[in-house]
Amino acid sequence: MPILGGKELWEKSDRWSAFGSEMFRVNDKTNQAFCLQPTHEEMVTKLVAEQGELRQAVYPLMLYQTGPKFRDEIAVGYGLLRSREFLMNDLYSFDITEKNAFDTYNSVNETYLRIFRDRLGINFYVVQADPGNIGGNLSHEYHLSSKIGRDSIAYCTKCNLATFLATSGVSYDLLKRGKKPCCCDEESISIIETVEIAHTFQLGDIFSKKLGAKHLGKPLIMNCFGIGIGRVVAALIDLMSPSVKALRLPYALAPFKVAVILPNKTQAKTMAFAEDLIGCLSQISTLQDDIFVDDRLDNSIGRRLLSASNLGIPHILVIGNRSARSLSGKPVVEYYRTEVHSDEPVSIGDLEYAETLFFAFSRMHYGFKLLLSANETRLSSVIKILSKGFHMEGLSSLLTISNKVRGITVLTDNVKKLFSKEITLPVVIVPPKIISRLVGCKEIASRTVGRFGNKIKPVINMAGESEKAIVFSPEKIDDNARSIVLKTIENVTGLTAKFGFYCVTINYDDWPVRPCIAAILPEGLEFGGFSQIGHIVHVNLRDELLPYKEVIGKILLDKITNCKTVVNKLDAIGHEYRTFELDLLAGEENYKTEVHEEKLRYQLDFSQVFYNPRLSTEHKRIIRKIGKRSIFYDCCAGIGPFVLPVVRNGAHHVLANDLNPNCLHYLKQNVELNHLSFERLKLYNLDAAVFIRTILADDLANKIPTDAHVVMNLPGMSLQFLPCFRGCLYNRCNASGTTLPFPLYVHCHFFVKAPDDLEDSWYFDEAQNLIRKSLGISDLNFIETRFVRSVAGRKKMFCATFQLSNEFLFCPDTQEPELKGKNGQELPETDSRNSVGERTCVDQRSDRPGIIGWLHLIGLSILTNLSHQYRFRFRTDRVMYFGPELACLEWLMECGSTEVIMSDGTSVTSKADMRRYISDFGFKFRSVPTITTPFKWSPVLPTVSMKKLDAIYDMRWAKKPNIWIVKVDATDSAIGDAGFQYFKECRQIEVLKLNFCDFFTDKAIEHLVSGRPSRTLRNIEIVANPYISDDFIKGIKRMRGLQRAHFYFLPCVVRQEGCLQSLKTSLPCCKVTFPELKEVGYGYDCIMEKSNVE
């Protein structure tokens, strides 16, 4: 459509003067008047009229256009929400009769509903509106809730409690003219601030009659429809984005669907693994053009991960250190997801197998499904391709344990010697200066040996300090490969090299746990796996493995970090308190332990209560759905893995129940342990059926929150409790009639068992079928049906989320539960007669977004617990045993630091990462020798050159691993003053982030400026510390190499200007930022206008 519209055409429709000052008007050189068209009814009607009378089969005639429009808004601002030039997607329809035009109007409005509700998955309002300058008899507007949109609507809270579609609403302009949303009283009318995103009009014949658009002599009946493309995107960004730096949009509008973060190191195997992953993802039709590959290898993985999150990419796969370490078996991919509630990527966990990876991707939601069910047939073939592509080379035939240990039942010192094996590997010895140039060559990197513990690595140090050796895999080196390698070395360096041999002995202590167990078992027997709960390792051995239980227990005790007790489950979980009898295999008989999850501590006695450590991801997923105005009911609470995070995050109130009194004891103890309040928490010791019928029902009838959530995490018995919800609110005196004024969601965990080897889709259908049978509702719609984990070959655990209707809750046909004082026996997981042919289940997977925004607050008391353990301790024995770098790394991660980046590119983000990394160098955490001699610091004097300081460092720590810490992000950690002594000996720390650290004071600066960081540190950030004062800031001027210093929200720093001036004088090359205090938050991402910048 043309941008300019002539005055004559607009005068024919009588709208030249009607638009008034909102229309931009211009004159050409002949003084003819034009306008920048604010809408195109005149132009499109003229176009139809010029075609003459068309045949009847053409109608309804639908004309689409997307283009710019211009309007001199009365209130301009807020970017695309209110702009003078805007982009619209318009539809103009022409019909012969009013009835046909009405049908077209309803059809297009239904399409708009599907676009916003199903495609974008957003909450919106549809209201009657004033046609305004457009004209016509009737119009409807589509609105999004927005505080800055400058629109308002009125709707009835009574008529719209059960749905987010405010069909009984009117625009604010109509309300001012006396138009009410419905016939309810005025107290029910609510005014909400919104922004208009779409508008539809029934125009009738007002344009066609004036401009001559006819059929058989009668004017055509018109409708027009429009979606503000720019405004929709701007409004959704404002509504969904958690901060100014993090973009969030519905899944359909995301710039990419999946991001793949490539590894920093260009190791051939890891890069091949990444290429296979990208190639297989590309075979999925819905992802072909929506895969973002970040190959900026010069940036850290953490920075690229944050960039992908800031772009709003829903799913992020990281191929990092854990992937590289798992290539010898089933590869691992780190999986992150961007969420509306968080401006940082949310770690979901590791996806351990190709099948698991794609199974997860086929069910993940961000607004709606990533892969539609129609693709499941294609998905199976992709999984097969991926399984082949992902199957990396396992342990070489050389790296296998001797058959002499097969069948042993007792592990003695003499038997351990049978695990020893001497291996000879081909090597090429080269000078250290050229080693980095050679290992990056494809011809060499593709033939090097994979890392195996600390003894076999691609590059090793030789006896002489002036020599290093590149170690090759014997299976990849033949005469042709030898000549290629030697020729490459000569071409790159000009040196003539030759092959030699390197002998290494692999002992019992060097072998990983799984190869050891596999070696002792007879052929045909396999060890399933284990779970670790604190210091307890729990296995579930099949009958054929019981003769080897003691040796399995001893191997686990020797090789699992922090393991002190190994137990086997003797019977099924069938006790009334859901516990089982334990068989001690190895270690001490101590079942009282402590586990940590999401910065919360849980104490328990594993012999008295049941706890599954494999459900941490499921805990986080459910908890994210609970808002601050939500009620949370946990029918089978256990020791509180759902309850404690909800209490910490803040909910309307929480009711927790468990039949096992020991669970309630530890739940109460854990609440106190984590310094949480009982103000909004109530605990009950009842049968789950009684709890639902009495406590839960009474509470629902007396509260009006935003929503209510019920969790039933007792997979073997949850289905038998579902009928207890039927009619539970019938005749409740305080319930408002027969309507619950808020939605009630149930999250039910249960088992599905197949009678035969069946497709994954069968399990999903059967899961929904079991829920429908238990509730007696054949047409139940599911918000989400989620696969949680595989329990056994044909037994899987699912979680179904659904909303219970008012008809079900208030129906008089109640079903009284059989109350026996205990929960009775487990239900059969599924009827074996439920074959594929007998299923009648319909797939109803997620039709609405299930995420309710929540704010994840970090409890100061939780960090206090960590702080008391580590901040006042500096362990010289750890420094002397591990070396300064690894000792500092251990301290940082034990205190809860966010990330530490090492000189070899490794990114350590958790205590598990830290322990694996340190263990790879051959250190054992339980074997730290006691140091009696006093520890002496290396002198760091201003007059000593860095070259000499490095020589002192190299000489003192020559026997320790040649790696060092480069970057420290200690955000939200519990590091304290004494621990800063670990930094003093660190070789080359360049970046130090100390944001939201509440436990160090001015004393900490003395340790920093008296050690090597005073010469190596380049970047320091300190945000939100309640203790440091002017003395700390001024002490930083002794860090001569500093290039950037940022400080924000330091209430005890009184003379900011004086501190800045002091730093400016002492460090002229350092950029210092100290924004003026206006609000708590990161100031360095968007420095305020009046901030002091030097």
Q: Could you tell me which residues are annotated as the binding site for S-adenosyl-L-methionine? A: 619, 658-659, 687-688, 713
Phi and psi, residue 453, nearest 5°: 60, -145
Distance CA 429, CA 470 (A): 6
The answer to whether the beta carbons of residues 1013 and 965 sit under 8 Å apart is no
Phi and psi, residue 708, nearest 5°: -130, 140
| Two tokens, residue 132 | 């305004």
Q: What single letter denotes the amino acid at residue 45?
A: T
3-state helix vs strand vs coil in the chain, percent to 5: 35, 25, 45
In eight-state DSSP terms, residue 757 is -
The answer to whether the beta carbons of residues 36 and 54 sit under 8 Å apart is no
CA neighbor of 561 nearest in space, from 896, 819, 881, 925:
925
The answer to whether the beta carbons of residues 76 and 86 sit under 8 Å apart is no
CA neighbor of 344 nearest in space, from 799, 909, 887, 823:
909
Residue 515 is inside which H or E element, if any?
Answer: helix 513-520
Residue 99's Cα: distance from chain center in Å? 50
Residues 6+ apart with CB under 8 A from 94: 48, 59, 60, 61, 63, 208, 213, 220, 221, 222
Distance CA 219, CA 205 (A): 6
Residues annotated within a binding site: 619, 658-659, 687-688, 713
| Cα 620-610-669 angle, rounded to 5 deg | 75
Q: Specify whether the backbone of 271 is left (phi greater than 0), alpha (psi in -120 to 50) or beta.
A: alpha
CA neighbor of 997 nearest in space, from 867, 841, 803, 802:
867
Provide DSSP, 221-233.
EEEEEEEEHHHHH
Quote the strand ranges of 177-280, DSSP E: 189-204, 214-215, 218-219, 221-228, 258-261
Distance CA 696, CA 698 (A): 6
Residue 701 is inside which H or E element, if any?
Answer: helix 697-702
Angle between helix axes 884-894 and 911-919 (nearest 10 degrees) is 160
Q: Hey, is 436 helix, strand or coil?
A: helix
Strand partners, 423: 504
| Two tokens, residue 793 | 């070959």
The answer to whether the beta carbons of residues 124 and 192 sit under 8 Å apart is no
| Two tokens, residue 944 | 């000593």
Distance CA 664, CA 685 (A): 7
- Tell me the C-alpha to C-alpha distance, in Å, between residue 297 and each of 128, 320, 436, 1073: 54, 12, 16, 29
Distance CA 463, CA 441 (A): 25
Distance CA 1069, CA 883 (A): 33
Phi and psi, residue 969, nearest 5°: -115, 95
